[in-house]
């Protein structure tokens, strides 16, 4: 579900839970976008709707992260004038994530980032909170809100047991569209995103993706999934990306170098060095331990690279992989010996492929679902959906 704040902080209309694209009226381009854009209509879409099928594996029914049972995504969108930011919250199961933790692993592709909570995941191999995505300077606020949320639902934290490890990940939306110095994200926005989480994933420049730029265009949230069969068992792997990286001349779609032609068509300024970021969240219902999940997380880099990014020096590129197959209790039962299932390494290649394909497609879906946007100091971003007809030619 997405909650959008438009006009003032006090106005919070609700969108229905589902993949929601803007109405025809809201697709009108800002007045300060170059006049050539008026001749190109905006059609928000997905890669598959354009006939672009990434890879060989079959997607899940919704082709989103939430195809993995129990996963839910919520957004809180702040979009008015120079404020173009927000929060996205991801719950990986419907229970209490502190009492019943999930195997997890993170992989840092390029570490120019300010995410928190990854150190303990690296040490213990478990996730014990939802994951919150937001802008770089709102990480502290989001972490405080996430801790308060966990204290509310888990009274024993910090009282009769240890403290909690909040996981907050970020990209910098202040480099172009958002007034990041204004600290517009508040704790209530984080709570709203957590409370609105559901299985229908809204994509594009919503939630944490509101003010993000991807390949010099409007970026944001994208998602995709793949089905993987092992022996007689069917599993799902889903990906959600927060996209804020890349140079337009480098953009590739299903192997085709389309970025240079697009840059020339819209008379883009000289492309700056790549300094953006991308966060990749991966969930699967296949039984993997933390070591195996780290191997899966590393493959997100191949999916990112297939869209044209070279993971620039100033880019914060991080992948987090989670298995929902079995929980790990915070408090052991009568015995401290646990018996757990994991897939054999001989089966993991299929999940590597699923991660690469779903990551690539999620990035494209973020670009294709994003609306043209004008933000801080009148700066604008065009949308890839404006040029949808050019992508399939």
Q: pLDDT tens across 175-221, in order?
A: 899 999 999 999 999 999 999 999 999 999 999 999 999 999 999 99
How many Cα atoms are found within 13 Å in the side-chain-facing hemisphere of 176? 23
**Does 200 participate in catalysis according to the annotation?**
no
Could you tell me the domains of the chain? 2-6+41-330+338-380 (3.60.70.12)
Looking at 79, 115, 223, 315, which residue is catalytic? 315
| pLDDT greater than 90 at residue 111 | yes
| pLDDT greater than 80 at residue 50 | yes
**Does 349 participate in catalysis according to the annotation?**
no
| pLDDT greater than 70 at residue 3 | no
- Rounded to whole angstroms, the Cα distance separating 94 from 318 reads 25
| pLDDT greater than 50 at residue 269 | no
Q: Determine the pLDDT at residue 266.
A: 79
Mean pLDDT of all residues belonging to the chain = 89
| pLDDT greater than 70 at residue 4 | no
Whether 283 contacts 324, CB under 8 Å: yes
**Does 179 participate in catalysis according to the annotation?**
no
Q: Determine the pLDDT at residue 36.
A: 35
Q: Residue 2 — very low, low, confident or very high, per pLDDT cuts 50/70/90? A: low
Q: Determine the pLDDT at residue 47.
A: 95
| pLDDT greater than 90 at residue 361 | yes
Mean pLDDT, to the nearest integer, of 367-371? 97
Q: Determine the pLDDT at residue 264.
A: 85
Q: pLDDT tens across 279-316, in order?
A: 999 999 999 999 999 999 999 999 999 999 999 888 89
| pLDDT greater than 70 at residue 24 | no
In the numeric block, the tokens 């966990």 are attached to: 150
Looking at 277, 309, 323, 380, which residue is catalytic? 277
Q: Determine the pLDDT at residue 118.
A: 98
Q: Determine the pLDDT at residue 28.
A: 27
Q: Determine the pLDDT at residue 39.
A: 39
Looking at 173, 225, 317, 323, which residue is catalytic? 317
This prediction has a pTM of 0.90
Q: Determine the pLDDT at residue 225.
A: 98
Q: Determine the pLDDT at residue 312.
A: 86
Q: Determine the pLDDT at residue 302.
A: 98
| pLDDT greater than 70 at residue 33 | no
Mean pLDDT, to the nearest integer, of 122-130? 98
Q: What is the 3-state secondary structure (H, E, C) of the chain?
A: CEEEECCCCCCCCECCCCCCCCCCHHHCCCCCCCHHHHHCCCCCCCCHHHCCCCCCCCCCCCCCHHHCCCCEEEEEEEEECCEEEEEEEEECCCCCCCCEEEEEEEEEEEECCCCECHHHHHHHCEECCCEEEEEHHHHHHHHHHHHHHHHHHCCCECCCECCCCCEEEEECHHHCCCCHHHCCCCHHHHHHHHHCCECCCCCECCHHHCCCEECCEECEEEEEEEEEEECCEEEEEEEEEEEECCCHHHCEECCEECHHHHHHHCCCCCCCCCCCEEEEEEEECCCCCHHHHHHHHHCHHHHHHHCCCCCCCCCEEEEEEEECCCCEECCCCCCCCCCCCCCCHHHHHHHHHHHHHHHHHHHHHHHHHCCCEECHHHCEECCHHHHHHHHCC
Q: Determine the pLDDT at residue 143.
A: 98
């Amino acid at each position: 579900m997405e909650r959008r704040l438009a006009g003032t902080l006090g106005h919070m209309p609700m969108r229905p839970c589902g993949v929601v694209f803007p109405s025809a009226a809201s697709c009108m381009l800002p007045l300060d976008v170059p006049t050539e854009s008026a001749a190109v209509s905006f059609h928000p879409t997905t890669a598959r709707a354009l006939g672009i099928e990434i890879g060989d594996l079959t997607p899940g029914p919704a082709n989103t992260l939430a195809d993995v049972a129990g996963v839910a995504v919520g957004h809180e969108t702040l979009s008015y004038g120079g404020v173009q930011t927000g929060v996205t919250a991801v719950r990986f199961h419907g229970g209490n994530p502190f009492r019943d933790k999930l195997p997890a692993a993170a992989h840092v592709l390029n570490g120019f980032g300010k995410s928190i909570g990854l150190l303990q995941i690296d040490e213990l191999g478990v996730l014990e909170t939802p994951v919150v995505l937001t802008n770089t300077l709102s990480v502290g606020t989001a972490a405080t809100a996430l801790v308060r949320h966990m204290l509310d639902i888990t009274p024993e934290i910090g009282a009769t047991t240890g403290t909690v490890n909040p996981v907050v990940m970020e990209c910098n939306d202040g480099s172009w569209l958002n007034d990041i110095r204004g600290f517009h994200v508040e704790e209530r926005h984080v709570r709203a995103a957590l409370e609105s989480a559901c299985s229908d994933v809204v994509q594009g420049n919503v939630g944490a993706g509101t003010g993000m730029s991807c390949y010099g265009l409007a970026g944001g949230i994208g998602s995709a999934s793949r089905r993987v069969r092992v022996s007689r068992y069917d599993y799902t792997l889903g990906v959600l990306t927060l996209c804020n990286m890349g140079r337009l001349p480098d953009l590739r779609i299903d192997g085709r170098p389309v970025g240079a032609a697009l840059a020339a068509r819209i008379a883009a300024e000289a492309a700056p060095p790549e300094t953006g970021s991308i966060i990749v969240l991966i969930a699967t219902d296949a039984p993997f331990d933390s070591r195996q999940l780290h191997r899966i997380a590393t493959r997100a880099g191949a999916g990112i690279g297939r869209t044209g990014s070279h993971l620039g020096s100033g880019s914060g590129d991080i992948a987090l992989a989670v298995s929902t197959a079995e929980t790990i209790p915070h408090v052991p039962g009568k015995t401290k010996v646990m018996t757990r299932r994991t897939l054999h390494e001989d089966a993991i290649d299929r999940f590597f492929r699923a991660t690469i394909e779903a990551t690539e497609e999620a990035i494209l879906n973020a670009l294709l679902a994003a609306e043209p946007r004008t933000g801080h100091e009148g700066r604008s971003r065009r949308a890839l959906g404006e040029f949808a007809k050019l992508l399939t030619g």
